[in-house]
Amino acid sequence: MNGQKVPGKPVLIGAAGLFLILVIISTYFGVDAGERGVVLRFGEVNRVVEPGARFKIPLAEQVVFMTVRVQKTTTKTEAASRDLQTVQTTMVLNYNLDPAKAGAMYSTIGLTYNERVIDPAVKESFKAAAARYTAEELISKRETLKAEVRNYLRDRLVVYGVNVVDLSITDFEFSAEFNKAIEAKQTAEQNALRAKRDLERIKVEAEQKVTSARAEAEALRLQRQVISPELIQLRQIEAQLKAIEKWDGKMPSVTGGAVPFISVEKTK
């Protein structure tokens, strides 16, 4: 067989070269900003690497990428208030994974941390907080309730490597019977307020009338006090002077009797 070519040898060499290239390529990997690379060696967490170009052992190691950016999860939950009213709410939690605990989280929880840890914690925290408030207080003290739930979640989730950034309570939904009761109460309060305003208005108007009557009575009293004989005489003189001003100089025609005379007294 000397001098004879082995069939398929170039193919084997090409396959071996391609395999080598693939091995070399698989040796390197990159981690994007906002991520951490959890390197598994034979399925066990070996190390956690930061963003950049990295190296791993081909075939023996693989990489799981975990985001450490701020993420959002929306949870719908239900609880009972202190006065045993059923309330449903939607809670929006913003959080991020602690980069230093990414490996431990993957080892203990995996990638399903939202379903296994975060959502149950949100539901539990709301139930615990809602039980301390009446249904009406859940509405009027929403900010206080939100702060309690947020603080509870921070203490509960930090042990898993989850940092709470912010929490929002988007709405509350109560039973139809409770909504009707609230509406009836608001209507009653509005009617009571309207009646109170009407009563105050009537009271003010009555006081104004009393004040006006008192002022009128006082004016009449003062007027009676200043009337004197001299004032009466002055008014008579003024009336006579007005009569003279209106007289046209003609004596009235009469058929007998005395001629009318207008007497004007002289003042000294």
Residue-averaged pLDDT of the chain: 81
39 versus 171: the higher-pLDDT residue is: 39
Q: For 22-27, what is the mean pLDDT?
A: 72
pLDDT of residue 117: 95
- pLDDT tens-place string over residues 68-112: 999 999 999 999 999 888 899 999 999 999 999 999 999 999 999
Residue 146 belongs to domain spanning: 71-174
- Please check whether residue 243 lies inside any domain of the structure: no
pLDDT-derived band at 139, boundaries 50, 70, 90:
confident
- Please check whether residue 232 lies inside any domain of the structure: no
Are residue 158 and residue 85 in the same domain, yes or no? Answer: yes
Are residue 136 and residue 197 in the same domain, yes or no? Answer: no
Are residue 133 and residue 148 in the same domain, yes or no? Answer: yes
pTM: 0.60
- Please check whether residue 235 lies inside any domain of the structure: no
Q: For 114-131, what is the mean pLDDT?
A: 94
Q: How many domains does the chain have?
A: 3
pLDDT of 130 above 70: yes
- Please check whether residue 209 lies inside any domain of the structure: yes
- pLDDT tens-place string over residues 177-192: 776 766 666 666 677 6
- Please check whether residue 244 lies inside any domain of the structure: no
Residues 6+ positions from 69 with CB-CB distance below 8 Å = 34, 96
In angstroms, the CA 78 to CA 177 distance is 17
pLDDT of residue 102: 93
Identify the domain boundary among 28, 48, 67: 67
Helix (H) or strand (E) holding 136: helix 135-140
CA atoms within 13 A on the CB side of 16: 6
pLDDT-derived band at 268, boundaries 50, 70, 90:
very low
Helix axes 119-130 and 142-157, enclosed angle (nearest 10): 140
Q: What percent of the chain has pLDDT over 90?
A: 41
Are residue 116 and residue 166 in the same domain, yes or no? Answer: yes
Are residue 169 and residue 81 in the same domain, yes or no? Answer: yes
- Please check whether residue 261 lies inside any domain of the structure: no
264 versus 175: the higher-pLDDT residue is: 175
